[in-house]
Amino acid sequence: MLTNPASHRMKPRELIATAKAPGGVELRLIRHDNDHVIMVDSNELMSSRLGGSEEALATLSCDRLREQTKPHLLIGGYGMGFTLRAALSRLGPQAKITVAELVPEIIDWARGPMATLTAGGLDDPRVRLILGDVSAEITAANKRYYAILLYVDNGPSCLTATANDSLYSMNGLARSRAALQPGGVLAIWSAAPDDAFTRRLDKAGFKAEQVTVRARSNGKGPRHTIWFAIPR
């Protein structure tokens, strides 16, 4: 059977919505065939095709919490929900997950144009959603969390807002340390390795392991970095 070659061509990118991140940076939600991408200028901040490393942020953190029957995790921010969904799949019914997302439109998009990808994760009874700065939640917590999973901006080398640098500063790391239960895990996603940040974690009183993971869940794609840091 003959087919029209044009039917196999990829559809053009379609702008679905925009939002303002803190500092006035514009986020653009774009649909490309069956995929979604969140762009900042010409940079892909998030993509529905590249969720493997965000899933690893959750699964490898949960592996370090195997002895906990009622862990409480903090995830910041929501992104496209890969980390949340992976954590929900690994944790039992008595676990709790707090998700902090600073940009409300990210959640609107998750419940709207990307509802199929979201797969009901935000409605799981184990999940509490905070529309606010994860840094404020960390500051308010006192030995509340067994794990803090940070998928904020581009990692320690922030892309969208220099204010996010405070999370990864010595003071920010001290606040995260105080928010963790004894033996808890601070897990930090980054688009790239950063030896200076590894040394900063050590200086801040953490025993840190730097792990390289792939962007795609099939083990392919760009390499990303995750630090797993436990207070000494």
Is 90 exposed, middle or buried (CB count within 10 Å of its CB: 0-12, 13-18, 19+)? middle
Count of positions (residues) in the chain: 232
Specify the pLDDT at position 9: 56
Query: Which of these, 15, 146, 5, lies nearest to 75 by C-alpha position?
Result: 146
Per-residue pLDDT averaged across 93-97, rounded?
Answer: 97
Q: If you search the block for the tokens 């529905």, which residue do you land on?
A: 48
Check whether domain 50-231 has CATH 3.40.50.880, yes or no: no
Q: How confident is the model at residue 156 (pLDDT cuts 50, 70, 90)?
A: confident
Rg (CA), the chain: 18
Domain ranges, ordered by start, for the chain: 50-231
Q: If you search the block for the tokens 């059977």, which residue do you land on?
A: 1
What is the model's pTM?
A: 0.91
Please name the amino acid found at residue 97: I
Positive or negative: CA dihedral 139, 168, 145, 98 = positive
Q: How confident is the model at residue 1 (pLDDT cuts 50, 70, 90)?
A: very low
- For 59-86, how does the pLDDT look when each residue is reduced to its tens digit (9 = 90+)? 999 999 999 999 999 999 999 999 999 9
**More confidently predicted of 166 and 160:** 166
